[in-house]
Chain A
Amino acid sequence: MAKHDPQDTLSSKGEKRFRLSSNAILFIFLFLMVAAFAALSRDFYSIYNISTMLTNIAFSGIVAGTLTLVMIMGGLDISIGGNIALTSCLVAYLYNLENGPGVGLIIVIGLLLGAAIGSFNGFVITRLDLNPIITTLGTMAITRGMGYVLTKSRSILILEEVVGFIGRGSIAKIPFPIIMFALIFTSLTLIMTRSKFGRKIYCIGSNQEAAKLSGINIRKVKFVTYLISGIAASISGLILTGQTAVGMPQHATGSELDVITAVLLGGTSLAGGKGNILGTLAGVLILGVLYNGFTMIGFRYVHIRVFQGAILILVVALYEVREKKTY
């Protein structure tokens, strides 16, 4: 949508003046925030709270990680919230069917659903060359709507051990969602820094025309990236279903805002070509600590929502100003 400014993608490495990297600033900020909340609220710094907080972060963090890939490529995926909701609805629905499939198969179907939604997005965006924002806005309505159709707008209870384990279980006292989160972020970091695929994503994001001319199969890379985003959303959907023990179409309403805010906070630009997974990790942690900390010192959800909107605009404005200073 925004006219792409070619200067955006120039690297600022030629700069001689000492500057902290964006990621360093983000982690310093995170550290200061944790220190402040720990000073303000005694409960904040308990192992129980930190583990709960990280488990909560894991659910939106996983999709933030894959959305980073999509946004570095210059795309956007707003359908993640709907995807999460539909996965949870489908899993709970299948579980409560008489003579329904076994748990293993249900989980596979859940993941396949995410893959299907992701490939639908990828197919429509690459083949018909449509605006990704509006396309995934449409997919969001379709998926959430299907959730309503499937459950008839009710919550479906699912008390099942394996699904419960995905959301609440722990291995060696570390909650399973956190393990998933760590695994996915490590592999995404490796993909973006070490693999050809990652370089291709950066290349497409900085200059699609140049990427095409240098022989990159743009359609394939884009398709795969949206596919990954879809699968990650269904993994998040499974985690959320396990945590709440219900499948309902209202799950993860507005989570796209959280996730996009986290990614932008991490320094990825909507224009593409810029950003990294480590930054997104910082963004996800900062938002999670912010929500948790403010709740601990007595703010309500709606208040934090207002802050969040303000933070989103403020952070992107700061990045914009920083960018302009570089030249």
Chain B
Amino acid sequence: MVDTELIQEPEERQTFKEKLAEIFVYGKSMAPALGVLLVLLLLLFGVSTPNFLTYTNFKAIISNIPVIAIMSVGMTFVILVGGLDISVGSVLGITAVCVALFHHMQFPAWAVVLMCLGVGTFFGTFNGLIITKVGINPVITTLGTMALARGTASWFALDIESLKLGRIFDQKFLLIARRYFPQETQIIPITLIYVIVLYVVMSLVLKYTRYGRRVFAVGSNDYAARLAGIDTSRIKLSAYIMSGIMASLAGVILVAQLSLGRDDAGMGSELEVITAVVLGGVSLAGGKGNLLGVIISVIILGVIRNGMVHLQETIGISYYWREVVKGAILIIAISIDAARLMAIKRRQVVRQ
């Protein structure tokens, strides 16, 4: 959909066209293009379905976003350093089971959360160490971890009697995702605040700290970064740990939202997270992208997911199309990424 916008340009004046190209094609961030896409989608769903542009529905969309949004932060770090982590969905799954497990062991809520973040840290460190120290391809490593984590989760869920249902009753724990500001009118959910704080802090970290600049350096040119004295494997390790922690944080929030910790939680969510991050303009080649684009594309995916339910109600388009749409968006997103890279490269060649 972004493509059609670019094709329509030649009718405009040259300078205007150049300005548009500057923003949409050569610009550092995908955010403007994604913003336009989001508005178009809102209009599309708003016009075609009656219940889409309502206050209740917006609350539904917002409550659905945090899980993917939080996981996407970790994935952004991993893709920025030039890696990939497809184990996030499974780490979320094992976190969900661990929440139920620790809950049944009568731990207090804060301890449950801490221990679950520990689970995520463990898997992240495991991934990171194998990728950096042993030197195995990140896709293979995280594919292995994916089976390992999901298998362990199902194992626990099958063999431990108390985990069969996975219900969580601890009110204190549930409030992690169910508190609102103000509590009575339920306007702003606390999960939204988590997301905003997380994205602001991480954006600042990426942009203004030495660590953030090292992440970009490692992703854009590993060898040069090493020559410049950066411990590249430590930066990579930290990115995978970040991804693990974020996946388990998302797991904790999902369990608190559903009050249900089952082993199939987050099945297939790695696809959505990778789509969000790549659509957000984080280049798969590493070293390029920012979190603003990522959060907009997370919202776009959330809007599409929600809008398709409304489409089914009004027009009768089967909700099962959502998987097809997800896959198509992923392929379109990487096509745009590739086209942008090519355009930028071509301009550099012309200038030289």
Contacts and interface: CB of A to CB of B under 8 A. Distances in A.
A153 interface: yes
Contacts of B330: 134, 137-138, 141
A151 to B, nearest CB: 9
Contacts of A76: 139
Q: Do most interface residues of chain B lie in helix, strand or loop, or is the interface mixed? A: helix
B328 A2 contact: no
B144 A141 contact: no
Contacts of B150: 305
A254 B140 CA distance: 14
A137 B274 contact: yes
A291 to B, nearest CB: 13
A145 interface: yes
Q: Do most interface residues of chain A lie in helix, strand or loop, or is the interface mixed? A: helix
Contacts of A302: 151, 154-155, 158
Interface in B249-289: 271, 274, 278, 284
Nearest to B275: A138
B134 A312 contact: no
Interface in B128-149: 130, 134-141, 143-149
A138 B279 CA distance: 13
Interface of A: 1-3, 76, 124, 128-131, 133-135, 137-146, 148-149, 152-153, 254, 257, 260, 264, 270-271, 300, 302-310, 312-313, 316-317, 320-321
Interface residues of B, number: 46
B35 interface: no
Contact of A1 (B137, B155, B323): B137
Given A129-B338, A257-B143, A135 B331 contact: yes
Contacts of A139: 327, 331
A321 B135 CA distance: 9
B324 A320 contact: no
Contacts of B328: 138, 142
Contacts of B271: 137, 140-141
A152 B320 contact: yes
Nearest to B324: A145
A146 B150 CA distance: 25
B334 A264 contact: no
Contacts of B145: 309, 313
A321 B133 CA distance: 11
What 4 pairs between A and B have smallest CB-CB spacing?
A: A145-B323, A141-B327, A309-B147, A309-B148
A303 B338 contact: no
B139 A309 contact: no
